[in-house]
Chain A
Amino acid sequence: MEDQKFIYDNKTVKLFILATIVWGIVAILVGLIIAIQLAFPAVNFGLEFTTFGRVRPVHTNAVIFAFIGNAIFAGVYYSMQRLLKTRMFSDVLSAIHFWVWQLIIVLAAVTLLAGFTSGKEYAELEWPIDILIAITWVAFGANMIGTMIIRRVQHIYAAIWWYVATFVGVAILHIVNSFELPFSLLKSYPVFAGAQDAVVQWWYGHNAVAFFLTTPFLGLMYYYLPKAAERPIYSYKLSIIHFWSLIFLYMWAGPHHLLYQALPDWAQALGVTFSVMLIAPSWGGMINGLLTLRGAWDKVRDKAELKFLVVAVTAYGMSTFEGPMMSIKFVNQLTHFTDWTIAHVHIAGMAWNGGIVFGMLYWLVPKLFRTKLFSEKLANVHFWIATLGILIYAIPLYWSAVTQWLMLREYTKEGFLAYPNFLETFTQILPMYYFRIVGGSMFLIGFLLFVYNMFKTMAAGALIPQEESYAPALVELGARNPKAETIHRFLERKSVRFTIVSFIVLAIGGAVEIIPMTFVKSNIPTIETVTPYTPLELAGRDIYIAEGCYNCHSQMVRPFRWETDRYGEYSKIGEFVYDHPFQWGSRRTGPDLARAGVVGGAYYKNAAWHFNHFMDPQKMNEQSIMPKYPWLAAKDINTKIIPAKIRAMQKLGVPYPEGYDKVAVEDLKKQAQTIADDLKASGISADPNKQMIAMIAYLHKLGRDISAPVTADSAKAEVPKAEVKSLPTSTADIAAGKEIFARICAVCHGAEGKGLATFPDLTDDKWIHGNTPGDVVNTITNGYPVKGMLPYKSQLSEQQIQQVASFVLNGLKK
C-alpha cells in the first residue's frame, strides 16, 4: 500500500516544554518560600498577598496544573501523534489548549493572591476560571478524540488508553466539583454543603491525584520508558487488567480523606476498602514498567533519563502502597492532620511526577531538537541532588508526624493530656521544618541544573517545527471475528466506543457515593439547634476562606478521647448543613477551631484576645508561627455584597426568612456594634465596620450551636466553690506553679503576670474575683468563661492548680 505523507506538529510540543520549564521554576520556588514561612513566619513580608494562607494554594496549583499539567500535554502531544501516525486533529484546538491554559495559570496566580478562592483544596479557582478550564479541557479532549479518529494505526496503544481516561476522568471531576452559584463577578458558593460538599470535594481531590497525577503519567511511562530503554512492554495482558481495574476502583476511594470525620460509616468504609483494593492495580503499572527494563539495566547505570524513570516508577510503587495503608482507619488517625500526608504527597510529586517529567524531557528534548543532550554528567548530578533532596525533605516530615501524633495523644498518669497546649507539640517538630527547607532547596538547585541543560541542548540543536512523516492509510477491519479477536482487541480499534466505555467505568464510583449523600436524607441527620450564619458571621466566614485559614486550621474534631479532651465534643454531620463550602481542613499546623465558639470550651477566646492575637500572634504565644493579620483591622467589611450573598444562600436552601436580604446589612451592623462595644469595654477601640469584627463574630459561631448556652448566671450557678484554706508554698511547688504559669497562663496574663491587653494584672492589689487561696483556686478551676478565663479542671490536677495559685499569690513580683 502506498504511504501517505503527513506532518507532525512539533511546535506545540516545544511550547508546552517551555511552559513546563518556566512554571516549574515558579512552582518550586513558591513551594520553597512557603516552606521557609512555616519555619520563619516573618518571611511573608507583612503583606496579605504573600501570606501563607494565600500562597500555599498558589504552590499546589502551580505544581499540579502549571508544571505537571504542561509536562503532561507536552508528552501527550508528542507521543500521540507518533502512536497514531497522524498530525493532531486541529491546529486551532492545539493553540486554544496551549494559550488558554497559560492564561488560566496567570489568572489563577493573580486571583489566589488577591484572595479569591473557593476554599476547596486543589479546586480553589473561582467560577470564571472554572469555565475557562472546562473550555480548555474540552478543546484538549476534542483534539484527542479527533486525532484518534483520523489515525493511520489500526489499534490504540496502552499509553493512549491512559490519556483517554485522563481526559474523561478530569472532565467528570471538574464539572461536578464546580457546581457553584456565582453571586458576584469573582465569587460563588458551592451548591453542596457540609458533609455532601466534603464527599464531592474529596472525591475530586483524591481523583485529581488519580487522573491528573497518575493516569497521564502511566500513559507517559508506557511510551517514554520502552522508548528510552528500547525494550518491549513486558505484559500486554497486565496492561489491560491494571488499566480497567485502576480507573474503576480509583473513583470510589475519595472518602479515605475523611476517615473518622463527620461522614456516614458506609461512605468511610468505601474509602477504606477501595483504597486497599487499589494496591494491586497500581503495582501493576510499576511491575509492567520495571519488567520492561529487563535486559536494559546496564543502560540505567549510564543514562540519567532511565535513572529518573526507574526512581519514578519505584516511588510510584511506594506511594501507592503507602496511600492504601494511610487509608486504613487506625493508621489514618496518625497520618491525617499531620505532616505525614505532606511527606507522602511530596514523595509522589517530586519523585514520581518529577521523575517521569525529567526522564521524559532528558530523552525527548535532544530527540526533538535533533542533537545530543548538552551534558549527561550534569543530568546525573541533577539526578543525585534531586533524589537526595527528596529524602532530606520527606524523612524529617515523617518523623515530625509521628512525634506530634504521640504528643497529642499522650496522657499523664492522672488522666490529663500531657501536652494540653497545642503549641508545645508544634514547637517540638519545628526543627524538622529546617530540614525541609534544605531538601526543597536541593530539589530547586537540581531543577535549575536541568533547566540549564535543557536550554543548552535546545540552543545546540534545531527543531523542525513541521516534521514530515509517512504511513499507509488505515483500512478498517470491520465487524469482529469472535474467534480471531478478543473483545478488548476489538475495542482498541474503536476509539469512540473505547472512550464511552471508559466514561461509564469512571462514572460509577462517584455516582454511588455522591447521589445518596445528596438525596438520601438519613445520611445527613439534622440538629435542630444549628442555625444559619448571621450576615456578619457569613461575612467573617468568607474572609476566613479568602485568607486561606483552612490551610492551617481544621474544623473537625474526630471521635478520639485525645481530641475531645483537647477541643471538645466531636463533630457531627448535622453541624455543617449551612457550610457552603465545608471548611474541615486537611493539615493542623495550628489547632482545630471547630469549638472556637463554645463559651467555656478549651479553645474559646474572648473578643479582646482575638483582636490582639490577629494583630500580633507572637504577643499572645511567643512561639506561635501564625502570621500577623493587621489588615483585618484596616479593611472594611464589604456590606454591598451582603444582600447578594443572602439571596445566593437562600437559593441553595439556607432558611433565611423571605426578604431577609433587605434587612441583612442592618442586622450585620447591629451585631458588629455589640462586638465593638465588647472590645471597648476591654479598652480596645475598634471600628465596627472592619473585617476584624466579622472574623471575631465567625470564630464565636464555631461549634456554638451544639453547646449549651453559657450566660453569666448559669456559669455561676453550676459551679461548686473549691474549699481551699492554704496553698503549698515550698520552693518546689512554687517552681512547678511557675512552670505551668509560663506554659498556660502567660498567654493572657503575661510572663510576669502584668496582664496582656484586657486580661487582668495579677501583681496589683485589685482583684476581680477575690484573692484568698480559695478564690484563686476557684477562678483557675472553674474559670469565668464569659470573660474569657478558661476552666482548667480538665487540664490540670488539683495539686497543679494549687501550685499555680500559690505561684500567683506568692511567686509573682508585686
Chain B
Amino acid sequence: MASNIEKNKTEADEHEIMEGHDYDGIGELDNPPPRWIMALFYITIGLSILYGAYYFWLDIGPNQDEVYAIKSERHDQNFASAKAPAAELKLLTDEAALSEGKAIYTEMACSACHGIVGEGNAVGPNLTDENWIHGCSFNNVYEIISNGIAVKGMTSFKDKLSPEKIAKVASYVLVSLKDTKPVNAKAPQGEPCK
C-alpha cells in the first residue's frame, strides 16, 4: 500500500488540478484511473461473456436441474458402493488381494480377539479350524465382518471398511488362514463347515 501511494504521489506531481474544477474548495486532478483497475474491469466483463456463452448461447453447461440430477446420481453411486450387497462380491484368491487382506487384518486389530495368525483367544473364536459359529460361506463371513455380531462382541466394520476391503479380509480368513494349524489354537466352536 505504502509504495503504491509513494508512486502515485510522484505521478500526481505531473498531474495538476484541473482548471475550472473547484467545488467549495475541492479540486480534482486529471490522473488517469490506475491501469490495473481498468484491466480488472475488462477481465470481469470478459469472464461474464464467457459465462453467458458457456451456459446459454453455446449451451454447453448444464442447467440447474441437470446439475442436480448429475450430482444426485453421483451421490447415489458413491454410497451405493458403500452399501453394495455382499452378493456382488466374490471370494478372492489372488495373491495381491490376500496380502492386502492380511494387512487389513493387522491394521484393524482383528488379532486383538482372533489372535495374530487367527488362532483365537479368550475373546474371539479360532478362525483357522473347520468349525464356524455363524456360517462358513464367503457371504456369511462377509456379513459377520460387515454387520458384526453385536451380542457376542464382534464389531461391525461397515462404517470403517469399504465392501472391497471387507471382501479382501474375508478372503484372507477363508483362504490364507484356513487349515494353518497354528500353535496355541483355541478349541473349535460351532458347527463343522459343510
Contacts and interface: CB of A to CB of B under 8 A. Distances in A.
A269 B55 contact: yes
A157 B160 CA distance: 69
Nearest to A79: B24
A297 B26 CA distance: 18
A733 B156 CA distance: 11
A729 B160 CA distance: 22
Nearest to B147: A799
A235 B25 contact: no
Interface string A564-589: 10000010000000000000000000
A279 to B, nearest CB: 6
A238 B31 contact: yes
Contact of B18 (A226, A236, A415, A559): A236
B40 A279 contact: yes
Q: Which secondary structure characterizes the binding site on chain B? A: helix
A268 B64 contact: yes
Interface in A257-299: 260, 265-266, 268-269, 272-274, 276-277, 279-281, 283-284, 287, 291, 294-295, 297
Interface string B46-69: 011001100110000001110110
A730 B156 CA distance: 13
Contacts of B32: 235, 237-238
Contact of B79 (A266, A284, A414): A414
Interface string B100-118: 0000000000000000000
Contact of A294 (B12, B25, B41): B12
5 contacts: A227-B26, A234-B29, A280-B37, A284-B37, A287-B37
A771 B87 CA distance: 32
B29 A236 contact: yes
Contacts of A291: 5, 8, 31
Interface string B12-45: 1000011011011111111111100110110011
Interface string A44-74: 0000000000000000000000000000000
A728 B45 contact: no
Interface stretch (B70-78, B128-136, B176-184, B186-194): B70-78
Contacts of A226: 26-27
Nearest to B41: A280
A356 interface: no
Interface of B: 5, 8-9, 12, 17-18, 20-21, 23-34, 37-38, 40-41, 44-45, 47-48, 51-52, 55-56, 63-65, 67-68, 71-72, 75, 78-79, 82-83, 147, 150-151, 153, 156, 158-160
Given A234-B8, A559-B64, 14 more contacts: A232-B26, A236-B30, A236-B31, A242-B33, A245-B41, A266-B56, A269-B51, A276-B48, A280-B40, A413-B82, A413-B159, A414-B79, A415-B78, A560-B68
Contacts of A236: 18, 21, 28-31
A191 to B, nearest CB: 27
Contact of B52 (A153, A273, A560): A273
Nearest to A728: B150
Contact of A561 (B24, B26, B33, B72): B72
Nearest to A230: B25
Contacts of A242: 33
Q: Main SS of chain A's interface residues? A: helix
Contacts, number: 147
Given A234-B31, A415-B79, A279 B20 contact: no
A26 B44 CA distance: 41
A758 interface: no
Given A157-B26, A232-B29, A269-B56, A279 B79 contact: no
B44 A277 contact: yes
Given A227-B26, A559-B65, A294 B151 contact: no
B5 A414 contact: no
B68 A414 contact: no
A360 to B, nearest CB: 14
Interface in A381-419: 411-415
Nearest to B71: A561
Given A226-B26, A232-B26, A414-B158, A237 B31 contact: yes
A189 to B, nearest CB: 29
A184 B160 CA distance: 63
A462 B72 CA distance: 70
B44 A279 contact: yes
Given A223-B26, A233-B26, A234-B31, A277 B79 contact: no
Contact of B17 (A232, A237, A733): A232
A279 B42 CA distance: 11
A41 to B, nearest CB: 35
Contacts of B153: 730
B67 A559 contact: yes
A260 B25 CA distance: 50
B63 A265 contact: yes
A157 B32 CA distance: 18
B19 to A, nearest CB: 11
Contacts of A297: 5
Contacts of A287: 33-34, 37
A1 interface: no
B5 A294 contact: yes
A717 interface: no
B27 A233 contact: yes
Nearest to A292: B29
A155 B20 CA distance: 9
A260 B78 CA distance: 23
